[in-house]
Amino acid sequence: MTEDYHELTRLIERLHRRFLDVLRAELTSMDITDINAVQALLLANIGDEEINVRELMTRGYYQGSNASYNLKKLVEMDYLVQEKSERDRRSTMIKLSEKGLDLVQKIGQSEEKQAQMMQRANPAPDLENTRKSLRQIERIWTDYTQYGTS
């Protein structure tokens, strides 16, 4: 069991890095060179929402200075629009610009292509059960970090 756990944690990390490699390759094929894969993923996670920067952090997508740096760069490159919240002037809201929305649409098309490739694989991975299992692991780790051991 411990060996499986070790392999799982390393596999999750490698898959994340590999996913960023795929995203990087897609950006290159689209001739997009002004942002990196992490920044493109950040845009995709924001999607068509107007979101509080703090909420983006709370969702667990990004941490601290890394997110601040990437958000700043994405605003500078016109992928994001950043405004003070009308309800709470201390809070900053972000949303995708037209340029950001266009890129996220292209990323969505790339994801569709990747999903179709997986369906054609022999044997095709069982994405539904894999997703369910990873959600269970996420819940266990979230509970552990919030409530400690039981």
Q: Is residue 105 assigned to a domain? A: yes
Q: Is residue 118 assigned to a domain? A: yes
Total tally of structural domains belonging to the chain: 1
Task: Give pTM, 2 decimals.
Answer: 0.84
| Distance between CA atoms of residues 47 and 100, nearest Å | 9
Q: Is residue 133 assigned to a domain? A: no
**Per-residue pLDDT of the chain in tens (150 residues, 90 and over written 9):** 899 999 999 999 999 999 999 999 999 999 999 999 999 999 998 999 898 887 877 776 666 668 888 999 999 999 999 988 777 777 788 999 999 999 999 999 999 999 999 999 889 899 999 999 999 999 999 899 889 875
- Residue-range definition of the domain harbouring residue 80: 2-123
Measuring CA to CA, which residue among 51, 98, 48 is closest to residue 71? 51
Q: Is residue 132 assigned to a domain? A: no
Residue pair 51/80 in contact (Cβ under 8 Å)? The answer is no
Q: Is residue 46 assigned to a domain? A: yes
Q: Is residue 66 assigned to a domain? A: yes
Residue pair 79/94 in contact (Cβ under 8 Å)? The answer is no
Q: Is residue 130 assigned to a domain? A: no
Q: Is residue 27 assigned to a domain? A: yes
CATH of the domain at 51: 1.10.10.10
